[in-house]
Amino acid sequence: MRPFTAALAGVLLGSAAAGGLTVQSVTRRVANARAGCNLVPIVVVAVDVKAGETLSMEHLSQRAIPEQFLGPSMVRPDEAADVVGQRVTMALPAGAPVPWAAVESPSWAEAFSSCVAAVRPPVDARASAVGQRGLARVQAGARTASAPPPPLDVPGDGPGLRVTRALAVGEVLRPDDVAAVQVPPMLRTVSLVRAADRELVVGARALVELEPGDVLRWQLLDDADAPSTAAGCEVALASEVAAARGEAAREAAKAWAARQPTGSATP
């Protein structure tokens, strides 16, 4: 190939290559521009809404805007339920987008106060009723109750009993909650529960908190069904009332939450 022809071919190839890069660049820019023009729906008000009004589904509609104008402050259609039932803090003319900043949600403090006001009365009523029934039952059974009797003599060399797990006040001892343990002679008093008395304490109620390894003493226990001491009566009633309050609170809180607008703050 002659030098002139080779030089001309190089110029033409270079121009072609440059032209190819230009076409690719333009193609990318067109694609990017079209992507920004994709239409996406947002929530708008269908009618004029005054400041302080509560939004309902009848107030809302939707329209499409270019994707490039979509911002995080705008409510999307799949979020419409979160603004229904909420007040707006500014006037919105028909067709205007609904911004999150214009939606007033109840604070956590307000929601908590509302929940407490709704839950407390039924909880107190349930607890009072259970407490009265429990007190009447305890009083009726106290005359015939026989709490685990402590031995009258000082224990001999036989082992005592220890608890195998942590027990809260009011818990009832199960068979696997106690195990035999050797007790030093100086600690063997009439209050010591001996291993031989295991059957008497299984089913008894703990009057104090017990930790694993604690040695059982008779004054720490009472009959679970018919307590014979003031402490036993108090613990038995407190356990029943606490259980009743917990159950009533769960029921009342669930009912309160079901009445709240979708998306509102709940404690």
pLDDT confidence of 122, banded at 50, 70, 90?
A: confident
Q: Are residues 242 and 127 in the same domain?
A: yes
Domain interval for residue 124: 107-145+230-267
Domain annotation covers residue 1: no
pLDDT of 208 higher than 90: no
Q: Are residues 141 and 234 in the same domain?
A: yes
Q: In 3D, which of 134, 125, 72 has the Cα closest to residue 97?
A: 72
Answer with the one of 104, 137, 155 that is the final residue of a domain.
Answer: 104
pLDDT of 179 higher than 80: yes
| Residue 175: predicted pLDDT | 92
CATH of residue 203: 3.90.1210.10
pLDDT digits (tens, 9 = 90+) for 56-88: 999 999 999 888 888 888 999 998 888 888 888
What is the average pLDDT across 232-254? 77
Domain annotation covers residue 22: no
Question: What is the value of pTM for the model shown?
Answer: 0.40
Q: Are residues 157 and 220 in the same domain?
A: yes
Q: Are residues 111 and 96 in the same domain?
A: no
CA distance 165 to 171: 11
Identify which has the larger pLDDT, 108 or 54.
54
Q: In 3D, which of 79, 114, 119, 117 has the Cα closest to residue 98?
A: 79
Q: What angle do CA 107, 108, 114 make, to 5 degrees?
A: 95
- From the number of C-beta atoms within 10 Å of its C-beta (0-12, 13-18, 19+), residue 135 rates as middle
pLDDT of 4 higher than 50: no
Q: How many domains does the chain have?
A: 3
What residues have CB less than 8 Å from 214, skipping those under 6 apart?
162, 163
If you average pLDDT over every residue of the chain, what do you get? 76
Winning range, highest mean pLDDT, from 7-11, 51-55, 263-267: 51-55
| Percent of the chain surpassing pLDDT 90 | 19
CA distance 83 to 42: 13
- From the number of C-beta atoms within 10 Å of its C-beta (0-12, 13-18, 19+), residue 216 rates as buried
pLDDT of 134 higher than 90: no
Crossing angle of helices 230-259 and 108-142, in 10° steps, is 150
Domain annotation covers residue 77: yes
| Residue 139: predicted pLDDT | 65
Q: Are residues 67 and 188 in the same domain?
A: no
What is the average pLDDT across 130-159? 59
